[in-house]
Amino acid sequence: MASNFTSFLILSTILTAVSVRCVELDVGGDNGWAIPSTKNQQLYNDWASSNRFKVNDTLRFQYQKDSVLVVTQEEYEKCRSSHPIFFSNNGDTLFTLDHPGLYYFISGVSGHCERGLKMIVKVLELEPITPPSNQSLSSPSSAGSNALGFATSGLILVIVFALLSSCIGAIIF
Ligand SMILES: *[C@@H]1O[C@H](CO)[C@@H](O)[C@H](O)[C@H]1NC(C)=O
Ligand SMILES: *[C@@H]1O[C@H](CO)[C@@H](O)[C@H](O)[C@H]1NC(C)=O
């Protein structure tokens, strides 16, 4: 029983490590955040729908003489906002998707949003974690292997926490 619990701990820790990743995505790929060509006005929404976004993923906007605003759906449709939820114009904006749901991005420069510099990003709810299989990883229980199992899961936990804290630097692993 205790050994099953240990395997469960190890498995769920590994699952957490695998599912809780910080991913940094470059908005628009090589294009960066810039007015798309007239024949490609859906560039950003196409880019957004070809990606799967998770909570805590980070978007990187790279641009020159422009800005990034997060606005409401209504403001997105009007292409203007007097009180954006988020504003940045430093040329290299990192934005963390910190909750599930829809995010509406527009350029704050007059006329740019109308010409396609806008994007809707959908962040998925957390997927339910599949319960670990009941097949035990460790050999038939003995006091020694249990102690080893607990030591191993402790070590894995430490590694996961180290990796999670490095998420601030948005490291892909
Ligand atoms: C996102 O990051 C915050 C802060 O680091 C953390 O508290 C939260 O649990 C994370 N959420 C997910 C789904 O990873
Ligand atoms: C464990 O899995 C086997 C088949 O893989 C199944 O027959 C058994 O009922 C499962 N036991 C538990 C406790 O879920």
Residue 36, C-beta contacts closer than 8 angstroms, at least 6 positions apart: 42, 43, 44, 115, 116, 117
Instruction: Return per-residue pLDDT of the chain as tens, 173 residues.
Output: 456 666 655 556 555 555 556 789 999 998 899 999 999 999 999 999 999 999 999 999 999 999 999 999 999 999 999 999 999 999 999 999 999 999 999 999 999 999 999 999 999 887 666 666 666 655 555 555 566 666 666 666 655 555 555 454 444 44
Residue 133 alpha carbon to ligand 2 centre in Å: 8
* Domain positions in the chain: 2-18+142-172, 22-124
Of ligand 1's atoms, which has the minimum distance to the CA of residue 167? Answer: 5
The pair of structure tokens assigned to 2 is: 């205790």
Q: What is the strand order of the sheet 92-96 is part of?
A: 24-26, 58-62, 92-96
- Is the Cβ atom of 148 under 6 angstroms away from ligand 1? no
Residue 14: predicted pLDDT: 52
Residue with CA closest to ligand 1 atom 2: 56
- Is the Cβ atom of 141 under 6 angstroms away from ligand 1? no
Of ligand 1's atoms, which has the minimum distance to the CA of residue 55? Answer: 13
Residue 172: predicted pLDDT: 40
Q: Give the fold, CATH level 3, of 22-124.
A: Immunoglobulin-like (2.60.40)
Query: Is the separation of the CB atoms in 107 and 66 below 8 Å?
Result: yes
Residue 126: predicted pLDDT: 73
- Is the Cβ atom of 20 under 6 angstroms away from ligand 1? yes
Residue 51: predicted pLDDT: 93
Query: Is the separation of the CB atoms in 82 and 99 below 8 Å?
Result: no
Residue with CA closest to ligand 1 atom 10: 56
Nearest to 21 by CA among 48, 61, 55, 59: 55
Residue 48: predicted pLDDT: 96
Burial class of 157 by CB neighbour count within 10 A (0 to 12, 13 to 18, 19+): middle
- Taking the whole predicted model, whether its pTM rises above 0.85 is answered as no
Residue 136: predicted pLDDT: 60
Residue 131: predicted pLDDT: 66
Residue 160, C-beta contacts closer than 8 angstroms, at least 6 positions apart: 13, 16, 17, 20
